Structure 1
Amino acid sequence: MKKYILFDNDGVLVDTEHWYYRAGERALASVGVRLDLDEYLKDMAHGLGTWHQAILAGIDDATIDRLKVLRNEYYQHSLRTEAIEIDGVVDVLAELAQHVSMAIVTTSKKADFDLIHADRGILRYMDFVLARDDYAQPKPHPEPYLTALERFGATKVETLIVEDSARGLRSAVAAGIDCAVVHNDFTRAQDFSGATHRIANLCELRDLIR
């Protein structure tokens, strides 16, 4: 039986990944660069991000720094105005909290994370949150999940990670922890062959922890 669940945030607990991509797409369009979605998803799977395509297109560092500010503004606007809830998440967490301890391990910046979770009801079920500022090496490096494991004082065998991306799965595999990949339309074409479990939604976690 699993005693601990470590959740990724974006695409698992909230539906935000599309809006993050769109914000980067819009920022790069302002300098005439098209952010190809397929390439973006491949880059993300290997720990790269929005700006890899910009660099390949010859965009200089100063311009990229300016575009990052613009991207962040667009993204935070979407977080404030778009529907990013995933149906049933809060109900599932309330039930799981009766059986396991839970935490969030995310690559989100703290400012974005706080905006996402303002009055959303998810954090009440979490023992702690590790955001991008809380560790040195981001996913797909194992450090984020190993840091959470140490924080809980948990063993790998009694822990389950829930992810929706190849980058997150690679982090879990590198950490040596079982990983359930939940279906997400945005990342569905990525390689999840290393997953311990594939689930359609978080409701299926009820059976996995037993």
Structure 2
Amino acid sequence: MKIPNVKAVLFDLDGTLIDSEYFYFSNWAPILAKEFGLDITFDDWIQDFAGHTLVRNVDFLKDKFGIETTQEFMWTTTRANYAKSDMTTIRLMPFAKETLDKLKAKGIRIALVTSSYSTTVNTVLGHHNLLDYFEFFVTRELVENPKPNPEPYLLATQKLGLDKDEVLAVEDTITGYTSASSAGLQCVAVTRHQSEINRLSTAKYLIQDLSILIDSID
């Protein structure tokens, strides 16, 4: 796998640079069990919830399980759980820092495009001393239409001022992959979860960890 002419890499955050999905699962699962009697496993979380927006997950709960709840309620209750948890316990994904180091050494520009809010970015990446690697952050509060809409990646590309064929996105879910691809960008999908691998089966570039990425960029 060789990807030529890359001048900038736009990274997703959750599941791509940070191993945060179990953190989110462990905060959502007790709420779903207590409030709605719905017990989910981590595999269920990866299969049905990971990589999606709050709006979509609320709709999913209604459509699949008949659970009547609101975005406001789920926002308030999940954020209350997050506040009681320690986000600094969230680890980096394998080879995340090494990849950022190598990209920086190559002179390739780096930015972040995430559906998470800036508080999450600052807390987790700040804890790992990674904030300075990024030229800018496109977070949830900066766009009207989050992933899978192309808006976040169109905004990031505009900020870079580069041609689209010079920009590479790195994503771990079909939601993010759809966003980047719809924005006209090349995208590397990186995931170790079989359910997501199945959904990303048509991706041109599909790898299981970031160690392969740096050697793929000319």
Tell me if both proteins adopt one fold, taking TM over 0.5 as the criterion: yes
1:15–1:86 CA contact under 8 A, matched in 2: yes
Report the residue type matching 1:180 in the other structure: V
Whether 1:177 and 2:185 are equivalent positions in the alignment is yes
Partner-residue secondary structure (3-state), 1:97: helix
In the other structure, the counterpart of 2:19 is 15
Q: Deviations over 1:111-131 (max 9, x none)?
A: 222222223122211111110
User: Which residue in the other structure is 2:200 paired with?
Assistant: 192
Report % sequence identity.
Answer: 27
Give 1:1-210 correspondences, 5 Å limit: 1-34=5-38, 36=40, 38=44, 41-42=47-48, 49-56=56-63, 57-61=66-70, 65-80=72-87, 82-99=89-106, 100-185=108-193, 188-210=196-218
Letter matched to residue 127 of structure 1: E
C-alpha deviation, 1:50, in angstroms: 3.2
Rate the CA distance shift 1:31–1:46 in 2: closer, same or farther, 3 A.
closer
**Does structure 1 retain, via aligned residues, the 8 Å contact 2:191–2:197?**
no
CA contact (8 A) 1:28 1:54 kept: no
SS in 2 for 1:194: coil
Per-residue CA distance 1:119-148 (angstroms, 9 max, x = gap): 312221111111001111100011111110
Deviation of residue 151 (structure 1)? 0.2
3-state SS of 2:170 partner: strand
- For 2:217, the aligned partner's letter is I
SS at structure 1 position matched to 2:164: coil
Uncovered stretches (5+) of structure 1, i.e. residues with no partner: none
Contact 2:36 2:67 in 1 (8 A): no
CA-atom RMSD in angstroms: 2.5
Q: Give the C-alpha shift of residue 42 in structure 1.
A: 4.2
TM-aligned CA distance change 1:186 to 1:134, over 3 Å: farther
The two structures have a TM-score, normalised by structure 1, of 0.86
Is the partner of 1:193 in helix, strand or coil? coil
Tell me if structure 2 keeps the 8 A contact 1:181–1:195: yes
Q: Give the Cα–Cα distance (whole angstroms) in 2 for the partners of residues 52 and 12 of structure 1.
A: 25
Partners of 1:149 and 1:197 in 2: how far apart?
Answer: 20
Question: Against the structure 1 CA distance between its residues 110 and 190, is the aligned structure 2 distance closer, same or farther, given a 3 Å change threshold?
Answer: farther
Q: 1:41 is aligned with what amino acid?
A: Q
In structure 1, C-alpha distance between the alignment counterparts of 2:122 and 2:166, rounded to whole Å: 29
Alpha-carbon distance in 1 for matches of 2:202, 2:161: 25
**TM-score, normalisation: structure 2:** 0.83
- Aligned 8 A contact 2:18 2:90 in 1: no
- Structure 1 residue runs of 4+, over 6 Å off? none
d(CA) in 1 for partners of 2:180, 2:134: 19
